[in-house]
Structure 1
Amino acid sequence: MSFTRTLRAVSGAVVAGALLFGAAPNALADQTRDDQWPLKAFDAASIWKESTGKGVTVAVIDDPVYGDHPDLKGNVLPGKSFIDGGRADRESGKNHGTGMASLIAGHGHGAGKADGVMGLAPDAKILPVGRPEVGAGVDNSGLGEWIRYAVDQHASVINLSIAPAFLTDSDREALAYAAKKDVLVVAGSGNDGEDKVTPLAASPGVVAVGAADKTGKIWAKSNSGSQMMLTAPGVEITSASASGSDPYHLADGTSDSTAYVSAAAALLRSKFPDLTAGQIVNRLVKTAALPKSEEGIHLPDAHYGFGIIRPYSALTKDIPAGSKNGPLKMPKADSSAGVGGTSAGSGGQQASGEKGEGLGTGAIVGIAAGVLVVVAVIVIVVVRQKKNGRNGPPNGGPGGFGGPGFAPQQPGPYQQPGPYQQSGPYAQPGPYQQQPSAPGSYPPAPPTQPPGR
């Protein structure tokens, strides 16, 4: 898959097509907002009482963005186009980047901002990083440079709704650079219906995202794989367009679900500025959920990862911060030569190649101290086991990743009562099964027949 084929699969149904019949702009805009089912499913009104993404910059590495769109104006920074070296906020033809930006930080327009597309993090800023369309075989040229640019421009979240066919050493070094700088990188799993995610989504330090429809069923073309981490809405998604004649369009794809996860990350980074990127992902993972028909499956699942994001729960649940990296598998330090001012062959590599005649005094003291710590830990564990009988290990048992209480394969946030225990997708009032007392209830219960994949 090359960069010429982005993760979004356009359905061809253009929301703005009503203009052909002379529909009033206000009516069109109202319908556009009504068509944004993820906002209703997530109960965005409750989410925005907790966070709107203010103070957070999300880099969108994609087609350049139309920054003058009425639903985006004021939220798009100039950025940089790696096509011509100029600004990246003046796109007027290609829609993909503008669509992703609008799902993340669209603010609507009109009285009370009630019309048009609203992003999940409407007060976040978009840093557009325009990347060129290039041919097969060289479609990664520049990816590492684009990522580094986004990091150096102080983006704290990078949205990658693109699917490079392969990664170069420079690309991997840039991902390690982003991890070192505590930047959260989100990428789509791919739109081929394959049992493997894209090379980018599979990379250490990257959050791989799949797509689901409004019932919680996995989209048939959403790629799956062992690296899958989260799922989000990606079917029948309305977003903004760069074209003036068709200001909105409808599409399916893991591009859209990736944008929603990036937006959720922006909400969390705004409310919890002291949490690391890994700890932000930790909150998303621990509050993710599955449709009723999928409850009890081994997590992470190749299709759902740890489940469908629930931004309201991620913002409001009492969740310990956990370890610095959370569920993320970090890039190896030795794969990031030249990152952060360290040149190839310096630092750890150079030290490992030094010749010596034996261990120094400091090393011996360090080893001795380590042995004492290990002995102490063993003694404590033995004492606790004797005292507590058959209590399981801390952090929820095997499979946890350092955060206290994490138990990804046990009942809990994935098997909650409420909308996940209903008998059908429309059991609660309204098409999205919202419960006034339980905001943030997406995903709704699935149809009575188990959904296929």
Structure 2
Amino acid sequence: MTLTRTMRVLGATALSGALLMTAAPTASADQVRDGQWVNQYYSLDKVWSVSKGDGVIVAVIDTGVDANHQDLAGQVLPGYDPAGQGRDRKPTKSSHGTSMASEIAAKGHGGDAGVVGLAPGAKILPIYQGDANDNNAIPEGIRWAVDHGAKVINISAGKTRTPSGQELAAVAYAVQHDVLVVGAAGNDGLGQVSSPASVPGALAVGAVDRSDTAWKKANYGPETLLSAPGVDMVSAGDCDGGQYCIANGTSDSSAYVSAAAALVRAKYPNLTAGQVANRLVKSAFVPPVIKGAKLPDPHYGYGILRPYEALTMDIPAGSAQGPLAAAASSGGSKAPSAGSSGAASAPPAGSLPPIAASDSGSKGASYLLIGVAVLVGLVLLVVVIVVLARRGRRQSQVQQPYAAPTWQPGQQPYGGQAPPPGYPQQQPYGGEAPQPGFPPHQQQPYQNNPYQDGNQQR
């Protein structure tokens, strides 16, 4: 399930705005910090003057996080390995999860040495992404994270395929419990966002380089809501025996968006997960290449992440759902069986229903009950009229002598009588004309997308 990243050992210092990579010697810690171009790109001192993400737990569902790495000391909470092998805090294979955790919440070491994350006040909840046989256990991990205090879930893993029923239900469970799920779009250069980032209710992230150009290998599609730095990314991790790596990928972009979400959740604790996404989206930088185009753009989404602006701009809270597509399942306590199939249809990314899903469901049920009651009443009225007509006919036959019937012009044959004056013309079942003031059966699509014009030029 891990998204393939081009990872290399960090070998030398930055030179002329680009990192010169060699296999040896291993870079010193201060060279590592200098190599984190994102620190200057986002002006971390300004960001941290507003929020460091204090008190927010970010779950990292990945290959495990090395809790003993010097830059993550004290930042990693006890986590979860579905197989009970302890791989959540002691990775046995890839250091991918350690890299993601470091970009989110690393504190460096020795002053200005080592990697620092965007939200060093946050804590990492590591969750191993596979079961005992390394099968996909991400849905189970999502539910475990929700139940153990995570407010943001980073999933820099996935596959380019239709979401499973278990993934749909797990993300819906997170939405139901006000947890923001952030996912990487994928690194195949395909026009299909990877799952679970593509699942309705999740926030899918694409990648850009330091010149704000979309990375050519990033997957793209209508589900993409944001983009963030993902090229030449320096992070903590075991690459060829070293302690630091450099890599390209939407995995890194997702980690930075998750960190920014932690900053916002610490600053605005009363916002819902959707409203946090709203701040991230409304404050995003719209590069000139998509300026004036209909958003979300399949590569950039609504723009490039800007953490400081997300924390400081005057942005109305908006609806609880925000720009996130409506979750496709109620996300009950039990996930679908392993045989559950593919995706349920979802509204286009960024479209918002005029009312919350729960309100829509209850009102729809009320309207259905009213319609059924009206239909039953009409049927009873017809029955009463028929019974009275037959009773009257029998009485007239007893009281009056037999006489040959006389047919009136225009009279209908038996079984095809014209309805009494004023009697409603009944439509076929399921197509009844609505009562006066009764809302139409089919809801009109939401027309006013509040995310079209809210972005600010950086």
Equivalent in 145, 148, 169 of residue 165 of structure 2: 169
Q: Which amino acid aligns with 1:297?
A: A
User: Contact conserved, 2:228 with 2:304, CA < 8 A, in 1?
Assistant: yes
Task: For residues 163-209 of structure 1, give each alpha carbon's deviation from its aligned partner in whole angstroms, at most 9, with x where no partner exists.
Answer: 13443322211111101000000001110101111132211100000
User: Contact conserved, 2:36 with 2:115, CA < 8 A, in 1?
Assistant: yes
List gaps (5 residues or longer) in structure 1.
341-346, 365-369, 375-396, 401-405, 421-453
Partners of 2:34 and 2:243 in 1: how far apart? Answer: 15
Question: How far did 1:146 drift?
Answer: 1.1
SS at match of 1:238: strand
Specify the alignment match of 1:129 in structure 2: 127
User: Contact conserved, 1:186 with 1:262, CA < 8 A, in 2?
Assistant: yes
Specify the alignment match of 2:322 in structure 1: 326
Task: For residues 209-256 of structure 1, give each alpha carbon's deviation from its aligned partner in whole angstroms, at most 9, with x where no partner exists.
Answer: 000000000001001101110000000000000469310000000000
Partners of 1:33 and 1:371 in 2: how far apart? Answer: 69
1:152 has 2:147 as partner: yes
Specify the alignment match of 1:117 in structure 2: 115
1:298 has 2:297 as partner: no
Change (3 A) 1:196 1:110: same
Specify the alignment match of 1:57 in structure 2: 57
Task: For residues 111-148 of structure 1, give each alpha carbon's deviation from its aligned partner in whole angstroms, at most 9, with x where no partner exists.
Answer: 3xx1100000001000000123888xx943x2221111
Question: How far did 1:275 drift?
Answer: 0.1
Task: For residues 269-289 of structure 1, give each alpha carbon's deviation from its aligned partner in whole angstroms, at most 9, with x where no partner exists.
Answer: 011000000000000000001
Specify the alignment match of 1:228 in structure 2: 224
Segment drifting more, 216-225 vs 91-100: 91-100
SS at match of 1:215: coil
User: Contact conserved, 1:15 with 1:250, CA < 8 A, in 2?
Assistant: no
Q: Which amino acid aligns with 2:184?
A: G
Q: Which amino acid aligns with 2:235?
A: S
SS at match of 1:232: strand
Q: Which amino acid aligns with 2:120?
A: P
Length-normalised TM-score, structure 2:
0.71
1:413 has 2:455 as partner: yes
**Higher RCO (CA < 8 A, seq sep 6+):** 1
Change (3 A) 1:244 1:52: farther
Change (3 A) 1:117 1:22: closer
Partners of 2:299 and 2:26 in 1: how far apart? Answer: 42
Q: Which amino acid aligns with 1:63?
A: T
Question: How far did 1:39 drift?
Answer: 1.2
Question: How far did 1:90 drift?
Answer: 2.1
Number of aligned residue pairs: 359
User: Contact conserved, 1:99 with 1:241, CA < 8 A, in 2?
Assistant: yes
Change (3 A) 1:243 1:223: closer
List gaps (5 residues or longer) in structure 2.
13-20, 336-357, 378-434, 440-445
User: Contact conserved, 2:7 with 2:239, CA < 8 A, in 1?
Assistant: no
Partners of 2:369 and 2:228 in 1: how far apart? Answer: 53
Partners of 1:167 and 1:134 in 2: how far apart? Answer: 22
Q: How does 1:73-84 map to 2 (within 5 A)?
A: 73-84=73-84
RMSD: 3.3
Specify the alignment match of 1:280 in structure 2: 276
Q: Which amino acid aligns with 2:121?
A: D
Question: How far did 1:371 drift?
Answer: 8.4
User: Contact conserved, 2:285 with 2:303, CA < 8 A, in 1?
Assistant: yes
SS at match of 2:49: helix
Question: How far did 1:298 drift?
Answer: 1.8
Specify the alignment match of 2:10 in structure 1: 14
1:256 has 2:252 as partner: yes
Question: How far did 1:153 drift?
Answer: 0.6
SS at match of 2:189: coil
Specify the alignment match of 1:423 in structure 2: none
Task: For residues 333-375 of structure 1, give each alpha carbon's deviation from its aligned partner in whole angstroms, at most 9, with x where no partner exists.
Answer: 45x35459xxxxxx989x97xx9897579xx9xxxxx98898x
Task: For residues 358-403 of structure 1, give each alpha carbon's deviation from its aligned partner in whole angstroms, at most 9, with x where no partner exists.
Answer: 7579xx9xxxxx98898xxxxxxxxxxxxxxxxxxxxxx9442xxx
Q: Which amino acid aligns with 1:182?
A: D
Partners of 2:310 and 2:192 in 1: how far apart? Answer: 28
Q: Percent identity?
A: 45
